[in-house]
């Protein structure tokens, strides 16, 4: 994939307006929830659009209030919200903002959700379990959201839970470029899928790096815990890149890294799009054999709190270009050479 295709949206030097018009009847406006306002600000700057003004607050009893401080009538409204902890508050805030936009006569409401909530609850693994990822899709649609933009879903079937369009973006080309710049590609490098379910995606990632492929076979005795059963493939004498979509408590990642190291890998690094980094993730990474962990800022990360081995890649350019393509009725898949559906 050509490096020039991504990250091309220029940052305007002048003070941006709160919207811009594609035609006399088409106007783009961007608003942010409280989960990742820095990311939303950088997206709006890349598009040359001022971030829309809102009033967002939580009452003493926990109820959320939202109001747009400028007219959204007839506008193509984009709401930026990563549903991180507190997950339920941020999800509810997004839906309340969508309802406010609909009642304010917005022409279309698009939810930009870099980190999609409840994505790991995408199927029934035991009797009487919910499929919560599907429930969230239903709630978003019911709140008036017409379209969803998201990044690196945990599983491809989540897109099928929506009865409206879902634009799926991936950070893999950005990770591939980073590792190529580090010299981690070609012979002597192996991409290791974090589990068997991501084998197809890991294979495509390995093709981007001209590398070999291996798989970590895991057993999950209970939620949030995993045990490495075997390493499928040859990692001995090679530099290994473990690829995953989420780092939560980092227990699974660090156990996998140790298993790959014990299998003979000379160096182990990792990449994951969503750095949730719940406790005790940072300490586990610090104590692990991992040489570097590359993540994106789809969720807010305090750079003062992370270990020096954690490298953060920004996603505002990818999101800004995708928003512009959606607004102009262009092709999102062309931004990724059709490789944004890797499942």
Closest CA to 83 of 250, 271, 245, 276: 276
Distance between CA atoms of residues 291 and 305, nearest Å? 18
179: tokens are 């590792």
Distance between CA atoms of residues 130 and 119, nearest Å? 12
CB-based contact 44:77 (threshold 8 Å): no
Distance between CA atoms of residues 324 and 121, nearest Å? 31
Cβ neighbors of 338 (< 8 A, separation 6 or more) are none
CB-based contact 95:111 (threshold 8 Å): no
Distance between CA atoms of residues 166 and 300, nearest Å? 23
State which H helix or E strand residue 110 sits in: strand 108-113
Distance between CA atoms of residues 320 and 337, nearest Å? 17
Q: Is 5 a catalytic residue?
A: no
Beta bridge partners of 212: 190
Closest CA to 71 of 105, 34, 20: 105
Catalytic residue among 218, 238, 239, 286: 218
CA angle 125, 226, 190 (to 5 degrees): 110
CB-based contact 20:69 (threshold 8 Å): no
Catalytic residue numbers read: 218
């Amino acid at each position: 994939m050509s490096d020039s295709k991504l990250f091309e949206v220029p940052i305007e030097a002048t003070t941006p307006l709160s919207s811009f018009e594609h035609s006399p009847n088409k106007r783009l406006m961007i608003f942010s929830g409280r989960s990742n306002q820095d990311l939303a600000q950088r997206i709006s700057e890349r598009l040359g659009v001022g971030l829309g003004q809102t009033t967002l607050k939580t009452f003493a009893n926990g109820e959320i209030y939202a109001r747009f401080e400028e007219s959204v009538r007839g506008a193509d409204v984009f709401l930026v919200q990563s549903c991180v902890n507190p997950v339920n508050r941020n999800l509810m805030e997004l839906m309340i903002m969508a309802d406010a936009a609909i009642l304010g006569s917005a022409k279309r409401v698009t939810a930009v959700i870099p980190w999609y909530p409840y994505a790991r609850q995408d199927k029934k693994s035991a009797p009487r379990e919910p499929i919560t990822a599907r429930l969230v899709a239903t709630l978003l649609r019911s709140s008036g959201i017409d379209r969803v933009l998201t990044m690196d879903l945990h599983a491809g079937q989540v897109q099928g839970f929506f009865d409206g369009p879902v634009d799926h973006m991936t950070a893999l080309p950005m990770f591939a470029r980073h590792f190529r710049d580090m010299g981690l590609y070609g012979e002597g490098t192996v991409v290791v899928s974090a589990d068997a379910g991501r084998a197809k995606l890991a294979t495509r990632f390995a093709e981007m790096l001209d590398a070999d492929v291996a798989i970590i076979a895991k057993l999950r005795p209970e939620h949030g815990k995993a045990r490495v059963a075997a390493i499928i493939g040859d990692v001995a004498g090679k530099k290994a890149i473990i690829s995953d979509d989420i780092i939560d408590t980092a227990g699974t990642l660090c156990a996998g890294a140790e298993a790959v190291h014990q299998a003979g890998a000379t160096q182990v690094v990792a990449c994951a799009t969503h750095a949730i980094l719940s406790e005790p993730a940072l300490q586990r990474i610090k104590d692990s054999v991992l040489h570097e962990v590359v993540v994106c800022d789809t969720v807010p990360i305090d750079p003062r709190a992370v270990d020096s081995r954690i490298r953060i890649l920004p996603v505002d350019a990818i999101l800004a270009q995708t928003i512009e393509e959606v607004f102009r009725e262009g092709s999102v898949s062309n931004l990724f050479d059709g490789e944004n559906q890797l499942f």
